Amino acid sequence: MGILYIVATPIGNLEDMTFRALKTLKEADLIVCEDTRQTMKLLSHYQISKPLVSYFQHSKFSKIEYIAQQLSEGKTVALVTDAGTPGISDPGGALINQLVSSSGGQFKTEEPKGREAAEAEKLRIIPIPGPNAAVAALSISGFPVDKFFFMGFPPHKKGRNKYFEQVVGQKNTVVFYESTHRILKSLNQLKEILPERKMVVCRELTKQFESIYRGTAEEILKILESDKNNQKGEFVVVIKSD
């Protein structure tokens, strides 16, 4: 059985790529990525040429079978996402789960003989740590983060109110992601339910127009609404514990 490397890639600034991540991508037989166009930009920057296969939220099961087959043949496979750490609010998590399940089931060719054979048949999954937007935002928040609650992305419509009820109920620092299309909506909801709570909103972390906004939801809303450029990009919201 081959090795599956879970490789974190930059969330914006390409210089955040680690030496170990580069070495892993250069030595991989196959790179599995969310969007081949995004990954090609990264690989081209570092002059790396490798076969790519896409895996995203709605990929067919045949794609998982193909990746599993490569691993069963002893290939080295690197999994990356468009930005950051695979599996964190990312379809890569479902892929890893499927491969872990499959390695002990339908993709196993025969019963291992002896301890060495058993070890050889196991799927090795190795993390190559690196950038993560949530952790980057937490690190500069100044809030207590010995314990925190990560909530991914809020639902677009159904379940959105329940999601923000969970935010209110948390006793620890909360961190979640939001898109350019819904950041104002989220802040308006937070203004209603947590009017006095301090928070940090990070926009376009590590990129050219990186911006850090601090204050209450209402104070940050005023900043974003004062200039439409302040509403562009990907956001991380960190809310201080009560």
User: Averaged over 198-215, what is the pLDDT?
Assistant: 97
Alpha-helix runs per DSSP H in 78-177: 92-103, 114-121, 133-141, 160-169
Q: What is the mean pLDDT of the chain?
A: 91
**Single-letter code of the amino acid located at 109:** T
How is the beta sheet containing 235-239 ordered, strand by strand? Answer: 148-150, 173-178, 235-239, 199-203, 211-215
CATH for 3-131, among 3.40.1010.10, 3.60.70.12, 3.30.70.1450, 3.40.50.10490?
A: 3.40.1010.10
Domain with CATH 3.40.1010.10 in the chain: 3-131
**Separation in Å, CA 57 to CA 11, 23, 61, 125, 234:** 19, 27, 11, 21, 19
User: How is residue 168 written in tokens?
Assistant: 């209110």
**Is the pLDDT score of 146 beyond 90?**
yes
Q: CB-hemisphere CA count at 13 Å for 34? A: 22
pLDDT at 89: 83
Identify the architecture of domain 134-239 in CATH. Answer: 2-Layer Sandwich (3.30)
pLDDT reported for residue 38: 93
pLDDT at residue number 103: 64
> Which residues in the chain are classed under CATH 3.30.950.10?
134-239
pLDDT band (50, 70, 90) for residue 111? very low
| Residue 169: closest CA among 143, 152, 193, 134 | 193
Q: What is the pLDDT of residue 119?
A: 53
Q: Would you place residue 121 in the very low, low, confident or very high pLDDT band (cuts 50, 70, 90)?
A: low
Helix 61-72 crosses helix 92-103 at what angle (to 10 degrees)? Answer: 50
Instruction: Name the β-bridge partners of 214.
Output: 200
Which H or E element spans position 66? helix 61-72
| pLDDT confidence of residue 60 | 76
Percent above pLDDT 90 for the chain: 77
- Residue 155 is given by DSSP the state P
pTM: 0.87
